[in-house]
Structure 1
Amino acid sequence: MESSSRRAFLTGRRAAQTPWEQFCRRMRRGVAGDFLDFGLYEGKGSARLTPSQGGDLRLAHALCREFGIVLALSGVNQADSLTGQSVLWMELDGSMAGCQPLPDDPGKWFVQPGTHLSELVDAGLTQFADQPGYLTVAAWAADRSLCSWAPGEAFRCGLLHASVLMADGSSAVLGPFGAGNRLPLGTLTLQKLVPQLFALAAEEPAAGFAALDRWPARYRLDALAPRPGHDVNLSHLLLGHGGDLGWIEWMVFEARPPLPSADWATAYTSRPPAGDDSRWQQASTLDRKVKTLFDPAGVFPDPGQDL
């Protein structure tokens, strides 16, 4: 039998794998879902994962952190966010879907991120009746145009709790945080993050933005300043997040009246209104601070979606 050393001598040693090849090899070996490598272009790689279970998401997240690859939600406008970076697109399908009523909490539903909005409506979550039924709930939650309600009015969507995979790999459950319903900050990451976010929300420009008819920044820090009569809900920080701040693992909703359809004439655009450069610059600075607090290492897209 020919020895491996003789074979290597005759054929030449295989070139060492590039970091992208190493990443793809470990993804193929570790995930149960479908992984497709689109290859390299100008030295940067692109691939797609259709996960079949939560373990696929966690492995992908860990490897993206290790290799410096952006983890991006497919189906969200990422046109200007990934220049010069390798990226793994996460595409959700029916294997990560489901909407079940909570047995011990009537009127509330446990929802997985790949569930389509039309399925939520069929289950009884009528607030999504006028929303695009083909979207997954993860894509809806990431879309800033569909989550563009007035400052302090995120309660309209009926989101009560959300579990999010943070940039550092920890899982955090976000939910009500009012005086009479204080959800414990169960991770060290949250214990550090939440007070910093409250401090930002209490300062200018965020404090002034909360009084406007329309929230001008990307990230909905106004979730920490809800309308009178409503408690803070930390899960509302993820609404309209563009896929930039974390990965939503599951959500809990209650039924609410139908949400209004997006006003596309005034929806978020990449340009500030005429004569409003100062506010746009303030909003951009605020967004950078929020993004840095959530994702200092840049695991998720930046910025992820045009204003």
Structure 2
Amino acid sequence: MQSPSRRAFLVGRRAERSPWEAFLARLRRAAQGQVYEFSTPTGSARLVPGHMQDVYQARALCHEYGVTLALDGIPSSAPQDDTPVLWVEPGSAMARHERLGADDPRWFVQPGCLVGELESAGLPQFRDQPPHLTVAAWLADRRGCDWDRGQTAASGLVHALVLLADGTQANLGAFGVDNRKPLDNLRVQGMIPRLFELNAGVMADVSEGPGTCWDARYRLDALSPAAGQTLNLSHLLLGHGGELGWVEWLVFDERLGAPADRPYESRYGNRPGSGGVRQSCDQAIRALFDPDGLFPAQGQRFDHSYGVDA
């Protein structure tokens, strides 16, 4: 019988795997869905999850190996050339959308559901949006979620379950005297006071600017809703660029949704750039949600005339 040492001498020692190769091998063993590798200098692959458990596994492995976890399908997606990246595409395995009850105006929606399906179901906020987008990509798109300042309730979004970079699941929804559910989560408990502190500073800054467009990167104006509307923490995710977390599921209320009053072409191009207060605020919000930089630092690319990425 040939000894292992002699066999190694005859065939040569196996080359040691690079961290990217080790990451990919472990992901393929763990995932129920499909994994596709791209040929890039830094390492790039796409995961189409077969189950939410695949995303949990991917998050843990990305965190362990220093791989960026990026949502696939965002319009004007920014390239991730400087770091190994795993693009995660929510596909048909996580594409349910259904009413919460027979006569309930609320809809449970998974991230892989297509926008066209939601428009066909009668949710008005998806009117004139690209029907091929997943709802996760729509939620991340700053252009598609560009309601006026304080008007985020028009998204119809009332609740979101979000997987944060550290593996925490955050329930984000209505917040006020009659609804304290977000405080059930210790991680969110710690974030809320800082978010309100940031909101106080940035709203003082934007109140001095022209117009009603929101030109900061993240929708902190969700904490200062227009009169008669409910403060809802899930609205912080509107237009988040895939930079704050991974959305597991959403709830929309069909009674609340409304499309933006002005089309995309008239809302962009001459928008004033966001000021220093808003830029530092954006950085602080990202640090609260993703202090370790698991998600892209910039998930969506825009022309410099659009202030958030200038």
The question of a shared fold, defined as TM-score above 0.5 by the shorter chain, is answered with yes
Contact 2:107 2:253 in 1 (8 A): yes
* C-alpha contact 1:161 1:174 (8 A) present in aligned 2: yes
Measured in 2, the distance between the counterparts of 1:179 and 1:234 equals 14
The answer to whether the 8 A contact 1:210-1:225 is kept is no
Aligned residue runs from structure 1 range 9-48, under 5 A: 9-41=9-41, 44-48=42-46
Aligned to 1:202: 200
CA contact (8 A) 1:121 1:128 kept: yes
Identify the residue that residue 2 of structure 2 maps to in structure 1.
2
Alignment of 1:168-183 (within 5 A): 168-183=166-181
Give the match for residue 281 of structure 2: 286
Alignment check: 8 A CA contact 1:148 1:262 kept: no
> How far apart, CA to CA, are the structure 2 residues paired with 1:207 and 1:81?
34
1:132 Cα deviation from its structure 2 partner: 1.6
Q: What code does the residue aligned with 1:215 have?
A: W
Residues 220-231 of structure 1 correspond to what in structure 2 (within 5 A)?
A: 220-231=219-230
Q: Does 1:299 pair with 2:290?
A: no
Deviations 1:179-204 (A, max 9, x none): 2223242222111111111110012x
CA distance in 1, matches of 2:207, 2:139: 20
**Structure 2: how far apart are the matches of 1:79 and 1:115?**
19
The one-character-per-residue Cα deviations of 1:7-60 (angstroms, maximum 9, x if unpaired) are 11111111211110110010010000000121441xx11011001110001000
SS for the counterpart of 1:291 is helix
1:288 maps to amino acid:
Q
Counterpart of 2:66 in structure 1: which amino acid? G
TM-aligned CA deviation for residue 79 of structure 1: 5.4
Instruction: Report if aligned partners of 2:205, 2:277 keep a CA contact under 8 Å in 1.
Output: no
Query: Where does 1:57-206 land on structure 2 (aligned, <5 Å)?
Result: 57-77=55-75, 80=78, 82-103=80-101, 106-203=104-201, 205-206=202-203
Provide the TM-score with structure 1 as the length reference: 0.91
- Are the counterparts in 2 of residues 210 and 222 from structure 1 also a CA contact under 8 Å? no
- The residue type paired with residue 285 of structure 2 is V
Question: Secondary structure of 1:36's match?
Answer: strand
The residue matched to 1:84 in structure 2 has which SS?
coil
The alpha-carbon deviation at position 257 of structure 1 amounts to: 4.9
Letter in structure 2 aligned against 1:232: L
Cα deviations across residues 141-164 of structure 1 (Å, max 9, x unaligned)? Answer: 000001111111110011010000
Provide closer, same or farther for how the CA distance between residues 125 and 144 of structure 1 changes in structure 2, counting only shifts above 3 A.
same
Moved more, 257-266 or 89-98: 257-266
Q: Which moved more, 1:189-198 or 1:281-290?
A: 281-290
Between 1:168-177 and 1:104-113, the stretch displaced more is 104-113
Equivalent AA in structure 1 for residue 286 of structure 2 = K
Specify the code of the residue in structure 2 equivalent to 1:305. Q
Choose 165-174 or 177-186, whichever is displaced more. 177-186
TM, length-normalised to structure 2: 0.90
Gaps of 5+ in 1: none
Return closer, same or farther for 1:261/1:150 CA change in 2, 3 Å cut-off: closer
Q: What is aligned with 2:250?
A: 251
Question: Which region of structure 1 is more displaced relative to structure 2, 192-201 or 81-90?
Answer: 81-90
How many percent identity over aligned positions? 47
- What is the one-letter code of the residue matched to 2:236? L
d(CA) in 2 for partners of 1:266, 1:69: 38
User: Residue 177 of structure 1 contacts residue 183 of structure 1 at CA under 8 Å; is this kept in 2?
Assistant: yes
Count of aligned residue pairs for this structure pair: 299
CA distance in structure 2 between the aligned counterparts of 1:75 and 1:230, rounded to whole angstroms: 31
Q: Indicate if the aligned counterparts of 2:158 and 2:232 stay in contact, CA closer than 8 A.
A: yes
Offset at 1:266? Answer: 4.5
Shift of 1:208: 3.0
Change (3 A) 1:288 1:300: same
Q: Deviations over 1:89-116 (max 9, x none)?
A: 0112211101111128711110000000
TM-superposition CA deviations, 1:235-264 (whole Å, max 9, x none): 000010000000000001111354137633
Check the 8 A contact 1:31/1:59 in 2, yes or no: yes
Kindly report the root-mean-square deviation, in angstroms, between the aligned alpha carbons of the 2 structures: 2.1
